[in-house]
Amino acid sequence: MKDLQDANIGKFEDPHVTATGETRARVSLRAAQTLWFNTGTLCNIECVNCYIASSPSNDALVYITTAEVEDYLDQIEVRNWPVREIAFTGGEPFMNPQMIEMAEAALKRGFDVLILTNAMRPMMRNAMQRGLLRLRDAYPGRLTLRISVDHFRADLHDRERGAGAFEKTLAGMCWLRDNDLRMAVAGRSAFGDSDAESRAGYAAFFAEHGFDIDARDPGMTVLFPEMDETVDVPEITGECWDILGKSPDSVMCASSRMVVKRKGADRPAVLACTLLPYAPEFELGETLAEAEKDVALNHPHCAKFCVLGGAKCSA
């Protein structure tokens, strides 16, 4: 394990140059398509490999409020950002008592809304169910819930999320299905399946339960690469884009930002990336105006997850 922990020593230290002295890749905010809000790090469960360490006791990021969300929605208009989607992640977003109100604030302004959830007890509370049904009726086709289903097999899913988690999530998904609420799924690539094998397995799972989710569409069935900071990954230089045949516009920080509220902070802050909520170098300021600056790809996640893994978080 020590060898793995030492794998990236000397790398990802200077935002301007790599360990070998080459110019580090940077990404400009070309066109902000998605603004994320972290609703708080509290969660009803504690997963083995949660990238944000969410749990029933972790309140490092506290509940954001509807008023704070609306302030950033105002800023989108002032800055003329071409945002089409407002997305909410956690923790478990439905732990936040203002989740429905925050979603409605965005829907009222014409945005599509994406909520990431485990579809377990917090979402299944009567108040949240009533709220979801109201949003479904008032804003048809504009709300998507992306359900965390780490694997289509219950035993592998429960290995990450605890015994019985799969059945509880499945019950929530069946409720969403029966009430015509739009679903997507987020899975993980940690189990040794190929992309084709994973998508075939999810397709069979969806068909078995009558879920209207396209397993072949990477926007509807998202398979995330693992985010292991102990694995040796290459740094991304400015020349890598041509070598890899990729555009810097293809990574998340070219089209999204995330708002968090840290415990003890007076105001929320805007981050470059949804994946790095605790990395201070990826905090851009308190306003969207401050968040328009370029982002240096100065973290292993930038390379492994976004550039080489090709993952995207938005719908």
Domain ranges, residue 23: 2-307
**Is residue 127 in a domain?**
yes
* Domain count of the fold of the chain: 1
**Is residue 150 in a domain?**
yes
Question: Exposed, middle or buried: residue 227 (CB in 10 Å: 0-12, 13-18, 19+)?
Answer: buried
* Tokens matching residue 162: 């605890």
**Is residue 92 in a domain?**
yes
**Is residue 313 in a domain?**
no
Looking from the CA of 250 toward its CB, the CA atoms found within 13 Å total: 14
Give the C-alpha separation, 135 to 186, whole Å: 22
CATH of the domain at 262: 3.20.20.70
Region 20-27: mean pLDDT is 94
Helices (H) and strands (E) in the chain, counts: 10, 11
- From the CB of residue 121, how many other CB atoms can be counted at a distance below 10 Å? 16
Give the helix/strand (H/E) hosting 80: none
**Is residue 145 in a domain?**
yes
Looking from the CA of 142 toward its CB, the CA atoms found within 13 Å total: 22
Write the pLDDT tens digit of every residue in 253-279: 999 999 999 999 999 999 998 889 998
Write the pLDDT tens digit of every residue in 89-120: 999 999 999 999 999 999 999 999 999 999 99
The yes-or-no verdict on residue 52 having pLDDT over 50 is yes
Give, rounded to a whole angstrom, the gap between the first and last alpha carbons of the chain. Answer: 36
**Is residue 284 in a domain?**
yes
Reported pTM? 0.93
**Is residue 10 in a domain?**
yes
**Is residue 312 in a domain?**
no
Write the pLDDT tens digit of every residue in 55-66: 999 999 999 999
Edge-to-edge, what's the strand order for the sheet holding 143-148?
Answer: 221-224, 182-188, 143-148, 112-117, 85-89, 34-38, 256-260, 269-271, 283-285
